[in-house]
């Protein structure tokens, strides 16, 4: 974070988050300690040593700043209203006009948590350790637009999605608009899944399954490739979040209760959106994209040998 971005954040936290200095500690020091903890994944004791403050003071200031950041949630995490086509779609012949009504991508991720021993089985799902299942939506500039946290790791993505669509603070679903989701969720109005593999016309989906020598073979696979290329935004957003704030994907935050662990996730998403607006850090994004590409062992560009399937796609045979 550059000095100007840091100063701007402090000003916003004072103006909109209600953060105030104390007799002995400035707003800037309180914010610096909190950001250092989130970004460097240190313990309260280590932070106390670095800033030469008591452990009690460090902990108190962290929670005060955390609440102030959460006070900015509605300012920085806004759901799209569907009034315009995202630039990333309107500017691309690969995606426009086929995905002109798409307003974002949705996915879930498992984040490590510490819970009591008798609660651990509820949180131990896919992983060997307890996690909370976090559902999030983002737009294609990688800003989060919706976050639903604190579900036990054993909870299915479908159940969490149902809660997201029907809760008091629901994920907004505009008529004629849709989000891109993976095949593990339901195909319904407002949620578009890829074509599933198997059967006639069933297709590959993940980017790693395509290459210059293995392009889409039919219109469904071309749709899946473009669906995957767009939905990849949420995976990139999670990875940038992980790189900026390693505390939320590690076990070091285990000294905090489950409620605070949930609030840390929300706060990091707010800070992520703030930084995407004032300091996108293209170098970090390039590093994330390189890591994802290496993990997929794929080229994210569409193979050039897909003209025939592209023509089928243009005729509207996919929708």
Whole-number pLDDT of residue 258 = 85
Query: Please, what's the largest Cα pairwise distance for the chain?
Result: 71
Tell me: do 88 and 222 sit in the same domain. Answer: yes
Tell me if 309 is assigned to some domain. yes
Tell me: do 170 and 126 sit in the same domain. Answer: yes
Q: How far apart are CA 77 and CA 80, in angstroms?
A: 10
Q: Classify each residue of 178-202 as buried b or exposed e, where b means 16 or more C-beta atoms within 10 Å of its C-beta.
A: bbbbbeebeeeebbbbbbeeeeeee
Tell me: do 227 and 262 sit in the same domain. Answer: yes
Tell me: do 178 and 36 sit in the same domain. Answer: no
Which tokens belong to 172?
């907004």
Q: How far apart are CA 291 and CA 190, in angstroms?
A: 31
Tell me: do 55 and 91 sit in the same domain. Answer: no
Whole-number pLDDT of residue 147 = 96
Each residue's pLDDT tens digit, 188-221: 889 999 887 644 455 665 556 655 666 667 888 8
Angle at 148 between CA 99 and CA 193, to 5 degrees: 30
Tell me: do 166 and 21 sit in the same domain. Answer: no
Q: How far apart are CA 298 and CA 88, in angstroms?
A: 21
Tell me if 124 is assigned to some domain. yes
Which residues of the chain are modeled with pLDDT < 70?
A: 197-216, 251-254, 295-319
**How many structural domains compose the chain?**
2
Whole-number pLDDT of residue 197 = 67
Tell me: do 90 and 65 sit in the same domain. Answer: no
Residue 283 burial (CB count, 10 A): 8
Tell me if 304 is assigned to some domain. yes
Tell me: do 63 and 156 sit in the same domain. Answer: no
Whole-number pLDDT of residue 184 = 82
Tell me: do 157 and 217 sit in the same domain. Answer: yes
Tell me if 319 is assigned to some domain. no
Range of the domain at 9: 3-71
Q: How far apart are CA 226 and CA 221, in angstroms?
A: 9
Each residue's pLDDT tens digit, 262-293: 999 999 999 999 999 998 888 888 888 888 77
Tell me: do 82 and 49 sit in the same domain. Answer: no
Whole-number pLDDT of residue 203 = 63
Classify residue 170 by its DSSP letter. Answer: P
Residue of 24, 33, 25 whose CA lies nearest to 6: 33
> Among 71, 95, 129, where does a domain finish?
71
Tell me: do 83 and 160 sit in the same domain. Answer: yes
Three-state secondary-structure class, residue 132: strand
Whole-number pLDDT of residue 301 = 46
**Confidence (pTM):** 0.86
Radius of gyration over every alpha carbon of the chain, rounded to an integer in angstroms: 21
Tell me: do 22 and 102 sit in the same domain. Answer: no
């Amino acid at each position: 974070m550059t000095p100007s971005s840091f100063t701007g954040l402090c000003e916003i936290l004072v103006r909109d988050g209600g953060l105030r200095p104390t007799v002995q500690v400035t707003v800037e020091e309180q914010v610096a300690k909190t950001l250092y903890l989130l970004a460097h994944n240190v313990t309260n004791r280590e932070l106390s040593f670095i800033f030469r403050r008591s452990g009690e003071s460090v902990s108190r200031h962290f929670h005060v700043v955390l609440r102030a950041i959460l006070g900015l949630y509605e300012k920085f995490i806004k759901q799209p209203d569907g009034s315009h086509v995202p630039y990333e779609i309107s500017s691309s012949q690969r995606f426009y006009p086929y995905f002109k009504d798409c307003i974002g991508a949705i996915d879930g991720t498992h984040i490590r948590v510490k819970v009591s021993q008798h609660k651990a089985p509820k949180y131990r799902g896919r992983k060997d350790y307890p996690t909370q299942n976090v559902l999030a939506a983002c737009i294609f500039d990688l800003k989060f637009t919706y976050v639903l946290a604190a579900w036990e790791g054993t909870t299915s993505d479908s159940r969490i999605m149902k809660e997201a669509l029907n809760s008091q603070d629901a994920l907004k679903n505009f008529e004629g608009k849709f989000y891109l989701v993976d095949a593990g969720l339901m195909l319904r109005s407002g949620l578009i899944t890829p074509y599933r593999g198997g059967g006639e016309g069933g297709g590959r989906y993940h980017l790693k399954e395509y290459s210059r020598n293995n392009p889409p073979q039919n219109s469904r696979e071309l749709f899946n490739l473009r669906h995957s290329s767009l939905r990849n935004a949420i995976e990139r957003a999670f990875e940038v979040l992980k790189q900026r704030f390693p505390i939320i994907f590690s076990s070091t935050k285990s000294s905090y209760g489950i409620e605070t662990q949930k609030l840390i996730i929300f706060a990091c998403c707010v800070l992520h959106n703030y930084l995407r607006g004032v300091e996108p850090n293209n170098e970090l994004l390039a590093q994330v994209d390189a890591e994802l590409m290496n993990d997929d062992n794929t080229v994210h560009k569409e193979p050039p040998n897909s003209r025939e399937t592209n023509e089928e796609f243009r005729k509207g045979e996919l929708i």
